[in-house]
Amino acid sequence: YNTLGLIYWTLNDSPRALTHLHRSLDLAKEIQSPLDIASAYNNIGLVHRKDGDYEKSIEFFKKALAKDIELKSKWGQGYTHRNLGMSYLRLDRLEEAGTHIDQAITLSREIGNRTNLVKSMLEKGHLALERNQCDQAVPVFQETSELADRLNIREVQWRALRGEGLCLARGGQKSEAIEIYKQAVDIVDQMRAAIKVEEFQNGFLTDKQDVYKELVLLFLDQGRIEESFNYAERAKSRSFIDLLGNQKVSLKDDVDQELYDALTEQKLKIQTTEEALGVARAKGEDPTVQRLSQQLIAERNRYQDLLIQAKQESPEISSFVTVETITVEEVAELIDESVALLEYLVTPEELVTWVITRGEIRVARTPLVENELNALVKDYRRRMQQLAPLEE
């Protein structure tokens, strides 16, 4: 039940997640298992935090911490202190957040838990960002990104890069911020391509669209209109492209099928080796790290060789395994002289509209509150479904 709850939490299905997690908690209490009770409390807190009910999440995290202390588990305490810090941070209770984040860092360093350490360091950077202390936040984010890269924890790495980019943008270093944001987007795209289960993939970008939107706005601030469009298109079409690019494909030609299967198998080998390398780095197993690093290089080189072979021998296969979004130049070539393409992107505080014709691209930025627009669209759809007057 605990695992099912976490799966539904990952799929953004909070009601089902809470149903399974509370069932897990009841069973843990029945068998008097403090460890399972602490785990259930912690996971229930995670769901409430994701739903924005931060006070409720703190209530359950505190219950989890009490059990962790009872168990004398520094590992559990480290994770729970980090979770408490994150919830307090979202409530803007920065002093309490700082206390718990510092405790998480101290405990994680003490026991060598580098996974929780790097995640706690990320929150320390976020805390400095909330305090408008970018001079302190940037080095923390940089250290976090470097450690996350070594541990192959890409979820932390892209967030640390985004934090650094935010600080640079606030300080007026927008060109430098753009380069950092591009690294973050590249990592998000790589993570997305590795997801195999359709439901996980469809929900993957629910909390990651902001990094694309912020990069688009930075490009526009710099007058780099074409690049802003390219990244907006990349964000909006990535889900559809991945859906096409990761389908199981059956080809009539046996040679083509064999090459496609080899590419798919090699991609899986790379993913498996990356995961093993991250675990070895977290444990500090240097001989294993060295061996797996060399293995990963060889497997990536093998994949590149297969891609080159596919592009030369079978463009059809290449289109299934290497998918790219359309650019301004490619759009312009597809439309007639008398046609203009309108492309929209809604950001939290403005609506961006690109107008593309054969020889020109223009952009308009209209002040608009995203939540208000979403409410209007929702109301309009409801009226259509109920056959209610649309003019009101």
pLDDT class for 238, splitting at 50, 70, 90? Answer: low
Element (H, E) at 64: helix 54-70
Interacting residues of 15 by C-beta distance below 8 A, sequence separation 6+: none
State the Cα–Cα distance between residues 68 and 70, nearest whole angstrom.
Answer: 5
List Cα–Cα distances, 7 to 3, 28, 29, 169, in angstroms.
6, 19, 22, 36
State the Cα–Cα distance between residues 294 and 310, nearest whole angstrom.
Answer: 25
Element (H, E) at 366: strand 360-367
pLDDT class for 109, splitting at 50, 70, 90? Answer: very high
Q: What is the mean pLDDT of residues 29-45?
A: 93
Helix 94-111 crosses helix 114-130 at what angle (to 10 degrees)? 160
List Cα–Cα distances, 254 to 38, 313, 374, in angstroms.
53, 13, 49
pLDDT value, residue 197: 45
Tokens of 4: 């099912």
Q: Tell the burial category of 109 from Cβ atoms under 10 Å away from its Cβ (0-12, 13-18, 19+).
A: middle
Confidence check: pLDDT of 111 > 90: yes
Bridge partners of 353, per DSSP, are 344, 364
Q: Where are the domains of the chain?
A: 254-321, 328-385
pLDDT value, residue 146: 95
Nearest to 126 by CA among 154, 78, 92, 150: 92
pLDDT class for 283, splitting at 50, 70, 90? Answer: confident
pLDDT value, residue 199: 43
**pTM of the predicted model, to two decimals?**
0.78
CB atoms within 10 A of CB 349: 11
Q: Hey, is 311 helix, strand or coil?
A: helix
